[in-house]
Each structure stands twice: as C-alpha cells, then as structure tokens.
Structure 1
Amino acid sequence: MPTYELTVLLRTMTRPEITSTLKRTADSIFSSGGVIRKIDSLGLLKTPYKISSHGAVHREANYFLIYFDASPSSILNLGEGFSRDIDIVRQRIYKQITEDPKPCTLSEEVKPPAYRLEVQKMMEIAKAQQKKKFEYNTGLDYYPFQR
C-alpha cells in the first residue's frame, strides 16, 4: 500500500471539537483499510486567502497533516467523505514519493574532481555541445579579405 499525505484545514473550534473531528477522519481512514503513520499539527494559522466552505467564510484554520497508508482505490472515497464533513474547510490528499537511497561510497568522494565519473561525463557532454571553429574553405594559407 502506498503512503499518502492528507492535508486538512479545520475550521476554528475548541480543542474537544478538534479531537472529535480528527477521530472521525481517522475512523474513516481505518474503515477503508488504511493505517495511520503520523499526525502533525501545524496549529491555528491564517489562511492565505478567504476560503468559503459549507456556507461560511474562513480566514483562519487549524492545519493538520496526516500520513497514512491505504489502497489507491479507497482514496477517491476518502476524499469525497472528507469534502462532505462540515468541520473540514479544505482537504487534499497527496501521494508520498519515496526516493531510493543512493549508495554513497567514500572512495569515490575522496577522488579529485577530474577523476570522478560524474565529472568526466559532464566534460564529455560539454565537449559534444562545444561550437566548432569556423574554417575558411578557400584553399589559401591566409584570409584574402582582411585589410
């Protein structure tokens, strides 16, 4: 199951209301077969612009990030369920891209730049893109049109 990041903006509420809303979102993730990895709270922040949601205009919101694993087929249903919740002002689900760790060898890093494979490849590319000097095809040893 791939890892997803759920960005949730909750309307301005008291702490018990926020926890009940987060429990509802967590229950919907669990009911779809997902597993929550981490929940981060960014706090109560001003929104970058006025956001109207469910008939109200919001200028501040509680920002939360929820990292979870779920099947790709359940993501669409989760998004629709979150959009119907009155306490959620804005929500977006992003797929986390995991980069493979590159092997790091000390022997390669200690070499002078001219002997590293990466630098040699860059030099070959630079030579291939270098402009060739214009040659006159007159057959003479000098350029006849100079003053």
Structure 2
Amino acid sequence: MLYELLGAVRPGSLMEIKEVIKTVGMQVLTNGGIVRGINNWDTTFLPKKTRKHQATHTQGHYFLMRFDCDPATQKIVRDTLGVDPRMIKFSVVKMGKGKLEDISRVKGDAEWFQ
C-alpha cells in the first residue's frame, strides 16, 4: 500500500533530520518496501505550541516521505517515530486503496507544494 508520512523534527542540525529520514527509509526498505520520494520542507512554525519529550516546541523542520509497504511495516515506522526524541509530530496517511491502478500514477513529489 502507498503511504504518505508528514513529519516535523525538532529544528537544529541538518544531520539530525537526515538521521530520522534515514531511519524511516531503512525500516521501509529492510521490510520489503519502496521509498518513492522525500521532500524537505525546511523549518517553519508549528500550528500551536507542542510539548513533546519534556520540551516545548514552536518550530519544526518538516519533511514529506511517500513509500510503499505492508501495514505491519507502517506500524513499525509509526511506533519508532513515536518514541524518537527528535520527532515533534508526524502523520501517516494511506493513499489509495492499495490497488496498483489506484496508486501507479502517484509520484514521489508533492505537486501541491511547489
């Protein structure tokens, strides 16, 4: 199935952000999935103050990742991101019904963000 992950990492070094993305990507790949694309959205303000891992955040470094995997792998990704202290917020959304004809035309980039 095709999933879209929108995540907000605590702002700081670009290396931390790359490590979070690499961790997620490697989990998808080692469980037989495919990463279709990654978009870096840079640092911006969060919609509201968020308290996570004993810290209050007003900004986050956003990224978008589209990937194909089975539901069990998607749960592993969500569980890992939920306990990662670098993550502020994230959302994983299923795109399409999992049929090849539904998701074959979906690209890795988010056209609406350009």
Please indicate the TM-score interval, normalised by the length of the shorter structure.
0.7 to 0.9
- Partner of residue 78, structure 2: 79
Shift of 1:33: 2.2
TM-score under structure 1 length normalisation: 0.62
The one of the two structures with greater contact order (alpha-carbon pairs below 8 A, sep at least 6) is: 2
- Partner of residue 48, structure 1: 47
CA distance in 1, matches of 2:22, 2:60: 18
Q: Find the structure with the greater CA-based Rg.
A: 1
- Displaced runs of 4 or more, over 2 A: 97-101
Shift of 1:74: 2.2
Which structure 1 residue ranges, 5 or more long, are not aligned? 102-147
Letter of the 2:55 partner, please give it: A
Q: Find the residue that maps to 1:33 and give its secondary structure.
A: coil
Give a deviation string over 1:94-143, Cα, whole Å, max 9, x none: 00124899xxxxxxxxxxxxxxxxxxxxxxxxxxxxxxxxxxxxxxxxxx
Give the root-mean-square deviation of aligned CA atoms.
1.9
Contact 2:33–2:67 (CA under 8 A) maintained in structure 1 = yes
May I ask how many residue pairs the two structures share in their alignment? 100
Higher strand share: 2
CA distance in 2, matches of 1:76, 1:12: 25
Q: Greater CA deviation, 24-33 or 9-18? A: 24-33
Which structure 2 residue ranges, 5 or more long, are not aligned? 97-101, 106-114
Over 3 Å counting, the alpha-carbon distance change for 1:44 and 1:70 in structure 2 is same
TM-score under structure 2 length normalisation: 0.79
- Partner of residue 3, structure 2: 4
